[in-house]
């Protein structure tokens, strides 16, 4: 084979990238290609945009880092803007390519784009797909994906006992790219994004790219040596090292889960092997589970009744949704988490569970609106993880239980000293812990003494939240 085009998608790395490695092995010259498709940024059918400025910046940085990595190997990354089904065939024609190598992903829009590109190619061009986004390869599952269990625990046990993890594929030593106009990586303004806000309270600066992702792993595992306590600290709310924070680089494909798996195993050999080290691999399998569930159920994950066909009367109250999204519910733990998300593009796992439960359980608002808002705002948005987890919390996904999070008791458990609330709601900093999570319990004299008047300095609660959780407790159990 003389020339192959490598269409990069959510696999913005050179280490353990089978798509790139196979193309380099098969062809004399390789044209790496990334396309900024405007449909990834447009308004979704639920209202929020499909990508916000935080992830837009992270994506742009990741593409820039990929270009540098390819240049270090003698190659070049060709960058274009436009619809992928127009751009990829155009580049193929321009370089007279014999084949296109591309990552495949298990979600409806991603599959549609893949098919559109394949169908637009000349019949003489070979289209080769590689499955590179998961820890376990699709072909290594003990049970075919269309027959896997819809509950995580039995699936996890089966995989842990009966599926291996493939070794990472080394990065090519050299990538030979023919003469072609590389194009310019568009600026944030060119892509239609404002510069995202910078906030010193952010848990991490989250720089995009494989280099930054590997640096983060090096810090968390080897320099800070925090993996040995991962399970016990992962529900933290503030600071860089209470959890791994690998998710943004995993979502963009800057880090391979198999590469992380290898490093964890090396850590277990050289430092310690315990429940905490196991738990990080446990979380990678949770991520895998949703990827394979999307292969199995496809578009059913986007329906209001979900994959379980659960009928529920969802509200479509835009005013209430806007209060939730803006962090103006009057419930401090919810508002603090939403403000962190809006300002930084990130929120802890504990926070995500609570704000999701508040929207769907306490307010009864269509869970898909929340999932779409996270899609826009999260720097680590991954279609399967995001929509799978939202469906799970809404009771229409993979969990057969009908549970909810009491955000007040959760706040007092995971933010016992109210440090998190005080950090993200500075207007409540004067409040002692007993009122920081339940400011509505103050009387007028206390509001005056703390100089925090509800409805003036901070929002009054949009619902009687304490009564609502009593009602949920009585009706659900």
Binding residue ranges for FAD: 230, 243-247, 283-290, 380-382
Report the distance separating Cα 377 and Cα 302, nearest Å. Answer: 18
Could you tell me the CA-to-CA distances from 297 to 2, 19, 272, 375 in Å, in that order? 39, 25, 39, 20
3: left (phi over 0), alpha (psi -120 to 50) or beta: beta
Question: What is the number of residues in the chain?
Answer: 477
Q: What are 175's two structure tokens?
A: 């990538």
Find the distance separating the first CA and the last CA of the chain, reported in whole Å.
Answer: 63
Residues placed in the known binding site: 230, 243-247, 283-290, 380-382
Secondary structure of the chain in HEC code, one letter for each residue: CCEEEEEECCCCCCCCCHHHHHHHHHCCEEEEEEEECHHHCCECCCCCECCCHHHHHHHHHHHHHHHHHHHHCCCCCEEEECCHHHHHHHHHHHHCCCEEEEECCCCHHHHHHHHHHHHHCCCCCEEEEECCCCCCCHHHCCCCHHHCCCCHHHHHHHHHHHCCCCCCCCCCCCCCCCCCCCCCCCCCCCCCCCCCCCCCCCCCCCCCCHHHHHHHHHHHHHHCCCHHHHHHHCCCCCCCCCCCCCHHHHHCCCCCHHHHHHHHHHHHHHCCCCHHHHHHHHHHHHHHHHHHHHHHHHHHHHCCCCCCCCCCCCECCHHHHHHHHHCCCCCHHHHHHHHHHHHHCCCCHHHHHHHHHHHHHHCCECHHHHHHHHHHHCCCCCHHHHHHHHHHHHCCCCCCCCCCCCHHHHHHHHCCCCHHHHHHCHHHCCCCHHHHCCHHHCCHHHHHHHCCCECCCECCCCCCHHHHHHHHHHHHC
Q: What are 194's two structure tokens?
A: 């404002």
Q: For tokens 């307010």, what's the residue?
A: 363
């Amino acid at each position: 084979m003389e020339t192959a085009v490598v269409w990069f998608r959510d696999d913005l790395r050179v280490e353990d990238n089978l798509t790139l490695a196979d193309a380099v092995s098969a062809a004399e010259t390789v044209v790496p290609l990334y396309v900024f498709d405007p449909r990834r940024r447009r308004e979704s059918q639920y209202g929020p945009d499909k990508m916000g400025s935080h992830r837009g910046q992270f994506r742009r940085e990741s593409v820039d880092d990929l270009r540098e990595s390819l240049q270090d190997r003698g190659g070049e990354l060709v960058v274009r803007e436009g619809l992928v089904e127009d751009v990829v065939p155009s580049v193929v024609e321009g370089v007279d390519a014999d084949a296109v190598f591309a990552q495949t992903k298990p979600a409806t829009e991603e599959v549609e784009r893949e098919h559109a590109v394949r169908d637009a190619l000349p019949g003489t061009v070979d289209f080769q797909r590689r499955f590179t986004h998961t820890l376990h390869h699709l072909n290594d599952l003990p049970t075919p994906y269309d027959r896997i269990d819809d509950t995580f625990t039995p699936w996890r046990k089966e995989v842990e006992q009966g599926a291996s993890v493939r070794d990472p594929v080394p990065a090519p030593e050299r990538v030979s790219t023919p003469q072609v106009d590389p194009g310019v990586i568009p600026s944030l303004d060119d892509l239609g994004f404002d510069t995202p806000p910078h906030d010193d309270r952010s848990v991490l600066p989250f720089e995009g790219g494989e280099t930054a992702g590997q640096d983060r792993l090096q810090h968390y595992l080897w320099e800070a040596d925090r993996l040995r306590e991962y399970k016990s600290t992962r529900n933290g709310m503030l600071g860089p090292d209470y959890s791994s924070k690998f998710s943004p680089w995993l979502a963009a494909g800057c880090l391979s889960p198999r590469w992380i798996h290898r490093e964890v195993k090396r850590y277990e050999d050289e430092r310690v092997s315990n429940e905490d080290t196991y738990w990080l691999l446990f979380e990678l399998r949770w991520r895998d589970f949703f990827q394979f569930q999307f292969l199995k159920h496809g578009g059913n994950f986007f329906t209001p009744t979900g994959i379980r066909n659960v009928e529920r009367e969802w509200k479509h109250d835009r005013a209430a949704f806007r209060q939730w999204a803006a962090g103006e519910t009057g419930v401090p733990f919810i508002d603090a988490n939403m403000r962190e998300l809006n300002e930084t593009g990130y929120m802890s796992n504990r926070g995500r569970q609570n704000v999701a439960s508040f929207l769907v359980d306490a307010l009864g608002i269509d869970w898909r609106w929340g999932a779409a808002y996270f899609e826009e705002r999260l720097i680590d948005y991954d279609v399967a993880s995001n929509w799978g987890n939202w469906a799970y919390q809404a009771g229409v996904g993979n969990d057969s239980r009908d549970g909810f999070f009491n955000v007040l008791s959760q706040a007092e458990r995971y933010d016992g000293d109210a440090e998190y609330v005080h950090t993200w709601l500075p207007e409540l900093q004067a409040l002692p812990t007993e009122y920081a999570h339940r400011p509505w319990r103050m009387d007028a004299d206390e509001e005056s003494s703390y100089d925090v008047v509800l409805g003036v300095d901070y929002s009054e609660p949009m619902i009687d939240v304490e009564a609502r959780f009593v009602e949920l407790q009585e009706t659900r159990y």
